[in-house]
Amino acid sequence: MAAMPLPAGPPTDVAPRDLAARIAADGPSFSFEFFPPKDDAGERQLWQTIRELEALSPTFVSVTYGAGGSTRDRTIRVTERIASDTTVVPVAHLTCVGHTREELRAIVGELAAAGVRNMLALRGDPPGGPGQPWVPHPGGLDHAVQLVELVRGLGDFTVGVAAFPDVHPEAVDAQADARALAAKAEAGAAFAVTQLFFRAEDYFALVERARALGCDIPVLPGIMPITHLAQIERFTQLSGAVVPGDIVSGLNRYADDPASVRAAGIEIATRLCDQLLDQGAPGLHYYTLNRSTATRRIHADLQTRIG
């Protein structure tokens, strides 16, 4: 692999809120995703992780909503604190779940007042949970493309969206997923972040399908290492991502050795990241689960491999 050092951080000559330009400039970018803590202990753990990863000067960090939008207030509070108390650029997740249009406008306004200008616009999971039919909130929005339009109509915001290397559970086929991504870009989305996946070829096939439809926004691959076996079933249930059989069987070899499962999971994720960067992915987006150890290990291994 040709030498291509990971950047020390986003370029300083790019406007802080022009996140798409940050991703495109001098790539590859790298970013981290957190979820709002449920209690004080979780909040302490989160802020320890944020401080540890802040030292790597990521392009941005994002903060999720809980199922059904249940962590709205904590999402806003954590995102605002990242904006005010750290050196990194925060991206706030927004979902259509459980909100009217007016409530969504108010949330965007609250975030903007705190200096947050970057949003990830998602439809969100069905209110009844994964596998249940989608039902829009009365007075709310039905699709992520509508949320992109709403946010873009409220001001100078950079909006990201989701993309799916594995077919979305509600999509009729992979081409439908590509059309949905292209429609969100047409509505004003400036970048996309994929759901987790395990094969580089699945990511690049999605990008090619989208490009064929005229969608040329950067698509950041979402990476989550398997660090314990219980994650495999949960991944499939929550995201629809299929863990390949050879990965499952390889990890099952270490079923009685949690440390070896963790090491193998990190190595698998590192190889995937290596392939993605080598073949031209614009960056990496790590799903951290509010822990930094595995992410920092992957990042360090990549730096060693690519010089």
Q: Per the residue annotation, which of 33, 80, 201, 208 is the catalytic one? A: 33
Residue 145, C-beta contacts closer than 8 angstroms, at least 6 positions apart: 180, 183, 184, 187
Q: Distance between CA 92 and CA 177 in Å, rounded?
A: 23
Residue 205 near residue 165, CB atoms below 8 Å: yes
Burial class of residue 94, CB neighbours in 10 A (0-12, 13-18, 19+) = buried
* Paired tokens of 54: 């802040």
> How far is C-alpha 135 from the geometric centre of its chain's CA atoms?
24
Q: Distance between CA 60 and CA 253 in Å, rounded?
A: 36
Q: Distance between CA 203 and CA 210 in Å, rounded?
A: 11
Q: Distance between CA 48 and CA 293 in Å, rounded?
A: 11
State yes or no: is 33 an active-site residue: yes
**So which residues are the catalytic ones?**
33
